[in-house]
Amino acid sequence: MVVASHAPTQQPSSEVLFQPIRIGGLDVPHRIVMAPLTRSRARTPGNVPTELMAAYYAQRASAALIISEATQVSMQGQGYAWTPGIHSREQVEGWRRVTDEVHKAGGRMFMQLWHVGRISHPALQPDHMLPVAPSPITPAGKAFIENEHGEGELVPFVRPRALDLDEMPYLVRQYARGARNAQIANADGIEVHGANGYLLEQFLATGTNHRVDAYGGPVEQRARLLLEVVEACIAIWGPERVGVRISPLSTFNDIQDDNPEATFSYVAEQLAEYKLAYLHVINPAATELQTGQPIPQRVEKLLALIRSKFRGVLMMAGGFTRDTAAQWIEAGRADLIAFGRAFLANPDLPERFRRKAGFNQPDPKTFYGGGEHGYTDYPSLEQELGTKPRPTVDTSWR
Ligand code: PHB
């Protein structure tokens, strides 16, 4: 006799992806978010958002939520050539044109606030000063700068300058100014970038934070800057318009932590107190998810721990397909799924998921820098079906 519980698992229905949800103060129609993506197309001098950027984001307005590319809160916070900022009047005006276009197209947009800390280079810093960090530890790897010919170039990282204790309030104010500017720019909220080895994670992780003052040592002190920044942003926006992004277990940008379980358990627990719009977690098992390998036990455990500590809206990003996104939401492991490369190459990604259509392939050569090509010229399904034969179709996100 066939026992029901031994029946093969059914193909997950993607219906769950199309259930509405409330993200803080916003009602959104489905669960498919556009992840923050560095595209390095701001206008220089000044790192100002352009009309082309407005067109790019407006094309993607059918996302449940657009999270802007990482946007530096100060000149000191910049780590790559041509990334946009949100600290000058011109930048704020540029972002306002972006959010206007997104809103006109029916979308919603949070601005991601970014300070890169040591992941920078004097060539990108005001007066060619040293980048700042919790401790003077040189990251492995290279910085992406603009050389004297106006071209992108990779140069080795330098040893950063350790921040003085009396500079810390100034750092928090850089984020607060970014948060305020995002309001003037008519964004719908902000996301604090606490991930990927940038400044806030440099403070969180034991490998990059050797401080012996109130911002170093035990996790309560290493997390102090992140929490102060979040509180400063909440003071401006209210908690329901503030999200936070973290990347547990990631080693990106030469990050290393002695006890990520303790670090992220504490962070999730503390962030839960604020009743944020959402917590955004970069999936440490993106590769396994993509290749169909089992999720490592350690990752499973840590994600379950974060989920148990943070009871609010949880967004996950990294390596998801339509089916795995639906599975994770169905299983209660996430409420929203953010798509990066898939959204980059498919401006109408939710519609393609809904119709189980094919996908445009993203072209890594056009990810960073350049103009329209590989940016605003990926066709929607409608454009594809109505005018020309479909370009290369890749079904790997299905
Ligand atoms: C990048 O510019 O390469 C970049 C920016 C922000 C991230 C990750 C990578 O979170």
pLDDT digits 0-9 by tens, 172-189: 999 999 999 999 999 999
Note whether residue 3 is domain-resident: no
From 38, 114, 145, 198, give the residue whose CB has the most ligand 1 atoms within 8 Å, as the site to mutate: 38
Residue 70 in domain: yes
pLDDT value at residue 107? 98
The CA angle 156-160-161, to the nearest 5 degrees, is 160
Indicate whether residue 70 lines ligand 1 (CB < 6 A).
yes
pLDDT at 173: 98
Nearest-CA residue for atom 3 of ligand 1: 38
Q: Is residue 157 part of a domain?
A: no
Question: What is the predicted pLDDT for the residue at 387?
Answer: 60
* pLDDT of amino acid 310: 98
Distance CA 42, CA 51 (A): 10
* Domain-located, residue 204: yes
The residue whose C-alpha atom lies closest to atom 4 belonging to ligand 1 is 38
* 96 is a domain residue: yes
Looking from the CA of residue 79, the nearest atom of ligand 1 is: 2
Report if residue 6 sits inside a domain.
no
CA 276 to chain centre: 16
Instruction: State if residue 196 touches ligand 1 by the CB under 6 angstroms criterion.
Output: yes
Q: So what's the pLDDT on residue 225?
A: 99
Sign of CA dihedral 180, 185, 187, 191: negative
Name the catalytic one among 175, 198, 266, 274: 198
Residues in a beta bridge with 315: 280, 336
Q: Is residue 127 part of a domain?
A: no
In a domain, 80, yes or no: yes
pLDDT, block means (10 residues), the chain with 398 residues: 42 85 96 98 97 98 99 98 98 98 98 98 98 98 95 97 98 98 98 99 99 98 99 98 98 98 98 98 97 96 98 98 97 98 98 96 97 97 74 43
Residues contacting 155, CB < 8 A, separation 6+: 121, 123, 142, 143, 145
Is ligand 1 within 6 A of the CB of residue 192?
no
Report the chain's terminal Cα–Cα distance, integer Å. 34
287 burial type by CB count under 10 A (0-12 exposed, 13-18 middle, 19+ buried): exposed
Active site residue 198: yes
Q: Kindly report the CATH number assigned to the domain that includes residue 225.
A: 3.20.20.70
Percent helix, strand, coil in the chain, to 5, is: 35, 15, 45
The domain total for the chain is 1
Can you give the pTM of this predicted structure? 0.94
What pLDDT does 386 receive?
81
- Quick one: three-class SS letters along 273-314? CCCCCEEEEECCCHHHHHHCCCCCHHHHHHHHHHHHHCCCCE
Domain that holds residue 105: 14-118+166-250+260-385
User: Is residue 59 lining ligand 1, measured as CB closer than 6 Å?
Assistant: no
Going by DSSP bridges, is the β-strand pair 359-360/393-394 parallel, antiparallel, or unpaired? antiparallel
> What spacing in Å lies between the alpha carbon of 236 and ligand 1's midpoint?
25
Q: How far is the CA of 143 from the centre of ligand 1 (A)?
A: 12
What pLDDT, on a 0 to 100 scale, did the predictor assign at position 361? 95
| Residue closest by Cα to atom 1 of ligand 1 | 38
